[in-house]
Every structure is written in structure tokens, then in C-alpha cells.
Structure 1
Amino acid sequence: MLKRESLQKGVTTIEYALLASLVAIISILAIGDVGDQLVILFNAVVNAFPG
């Protein structure tokens, strides 16, 4: 009985680790995309000023 509980705990830990990894990857991609969009926006603002 103790072995089964330990195995279930290990499986749950792996599932949480995979979920955390997925969230981290999605966050990194989203932040990168937002950063690219900000660069485009700032360049448009700078180019709008004469001189």
C-alpha cells in the first residue's frame, strides 16, 4: 500500500513539473512577442518626430 501511494506522489510531481515547464515556455514566447511589438511601436513613435 505504501509503494502505491509513493508511486502516485511521484506521478503527480512529474505532472506538475510538466505543467510548470509548459507555462514557462508559453510565458517566454509571449514576452518575446510583446517585446518585438514594443520595439516596432517605439520605432514608429521615434520616426513620427521630425528631425
Structure 2
Amino acid sequence: MLWTITILLVVLWALGMVSGATLGWWVHLLLVLAVISLIFAVMRRGSAAV
């Protein structure tokens, strides 16, 4: 589930960057949320393997 959210946020961030819309810091907030989601997904997967 976290991987899906991460991919969705990265895609939305990329579309925001490509579209040239004047969203300001909202576009970068999507990237930060995607990175945080990715970190949680990696941590969760690592703890499940132990």
C-alpha cells in the first residue's frame, strides 16, 4: 500500500513539474511526502523480514 502511495505521489509531483502550473511549494510538498512514504515502506519491509 505504501509503495502505491509513493508511486502516486511521485507521478503527481512529476506532472506538476512538467505542467508548469504555478502551484509553488505544493509540488515540492508532494515529493517530500513521497520520500517519507518510501522511507516508511522500506522500514516496514525491513522489519517484516526479521
TM-score, normalised to structure 1's length? 0.53
- Percent of pairs identical after alignment? 13
**1:23 counterpart residue number:** 33
Which structure: larger Rg?
1
- Please tell me the root mean square deviation across aligned C-alpha atoms, in Å: 1.4
**Structure 1, gaps ≥5 residues long:** 1-8, 41-51
1:32 and 2:32 are equivalent in the alignment: no
**Structure 2, gaps ≥5 residues long:** 1-20
Corresponding residue pairs, total:
30
Give per-residue Cα distances to partners, 1:1-44, cap 9 Å, x unaligned: xxxxxxxx72xx1211111000000000110000000000xxxx
Q: Which has the higher contact order (CA 8 A, sep 6+)?
A: 2
TM-score, normalised to structure 2's length? 0.54
How far, CA to CA, are the matches of 1:25 and 1:14 in structure 2? 18
